[in-house]
Amino acid sequence: MIIQIKKRTLKLFGFASLLTFFLLGIIFSIFSYSFVAYGVNNTSVLIRVNITNTEPNLYYVIVTPDPVGLSPGANTTVNCTGRVWDYNGWADIVRVNATIYKNTTTVNAVDDNNNHYSNYNCSACTQYAGSASNATCICAFNVTYYVDNGTWECNMTVFDSYGVNSSNKTQFTINQLLAINTTDEVDYGNLVVTQTSSKETVNITNFGNIPLNLTLRSYGGTEDTESNQNWSMICALGNMSFNQHRWTLNSSDPFDNMKSMSNSTSDLNLTIPQRINDVAIANDKNSTYIQLRVPLTVGGHCNGTLIFAAFVS
């Protein structure tokens, strides 16, 4: 009996083992199939693109000279210089423009000789320091003698061959200019003793960029020597006193109402404003009228000098 029981036990164990292996095989097949299916769905895609243009970078702007010193009655050149980096090469920068303007106005304001200048035709950029990717770009401006003094800005923009742009700006200073221009010479012509000349005009123009006041001083002859400082005119025969030579700001004043010349500096009590008219000289020019009455006991050629001096009140 014991032997039969063991035999049955062995048989049952064998059947259970077979069943177990059969089930494990099915499970393994299922998991194997799932694993294979997941591997098929996980594929790689390679993405490619070629960027044919990269934007420029205007990384540096400077103005020279700074500060700007102006020239009386003439234009002064101001250069706005930019440094540009372009991945596509320095020659990819094909156009540059710039605007300089007083900081009291805006970059988009209308051009005006006092406070706003634009240059849309700047020079072609050049390679900078042998670099394949860096360029130097310069925009030049001819500013007038009456341009506003103070703080200014230069705003520059560069464009590449695709029209992509980059901008940058910097500040600079324009100095004050105190300057005048006067009539070079006055010739009273031929006169005789006791004769009063016609009124002659001495024009004084503000050749700077600030309002100014004027003083007047006179001496005889062409040299400012001590002996000449006592006379208004030095003649071949005799001399003329200051009382014989007079000035006025009113062209209708008669000689007797005019002021006598003096070797002492006289304030004309006159202010000449800064020029603001871009078309023509206007109230930035003033006229002073002078007249001569010839005394007795003089003769020949006579010479005298007038000194007009500008100052800021």
165 in the same domain as 74:
yes
Closest CA to 143 of 230, 71, 246: 71
240 in the same domain as 224:
yes
Average pLDDT score, the chain: 90
Q: 174, 206, 222: which is the final residue of a domain?
A: 174
123 in the same domain as 99:
yes
| Residue-number span of the structural domain to which 206 is assigned | 180-311
pLDDT band at 40 (very low <50, low <70, confident <90, very high): low
Q: Give residue for tokens 């005009």.
A: 201
Q: 139, 174, 209: which is the final residue of a domain?
A: 174
Instruction: Report the number of secondary-structure helices (H) and strands (E) in the chain.
Output: 1, 18
304 in the same domain as 273:
yes
The residue length of the chain stands at: 313
233 in the same domain as 165:
no
Tell me if 121 is assigned to some domain.
yes
213 in the same domain as 137:
no
Instruction: Identify the CATH number of the domain in which residue 291 sits.
Output: 2.60.40
Instruction: Identify the CATH number of the domain in which residue 161 sits.
Output: 2.60.40.1930
DSSP assignment letter at 202: E
Question: 126-181: per-residue pLDDT in tens?
Answer: 999 999 999 999 999 999 999 999 999 999 999 999 999 999 999 999 999 999 99
Q: Give the pLDDT of residue 139.
A: 98
Number of domains, the chain:
2
296 in the same domain as 185:
yes
3-state DSSP assignment of residue 242: helix
Helix (H) or strand (E) holding 34: helix 2-41
154 in the same domain as 204:
no
Question: 267-304: per-residue pLDDT in tens?
Answer: 999 999 999 999 999 999 999 999 999 999 999 999 99
Q: 174, 195, 215: which is the final residue of a domain?
A: 174
Dist CA 1 CA 7 (whole Å): 10
In this predicted model, which residue has the larger pLDDT, 42 or 234? 234
Q: Does 23 score more than 80 pLDDT?
A: no
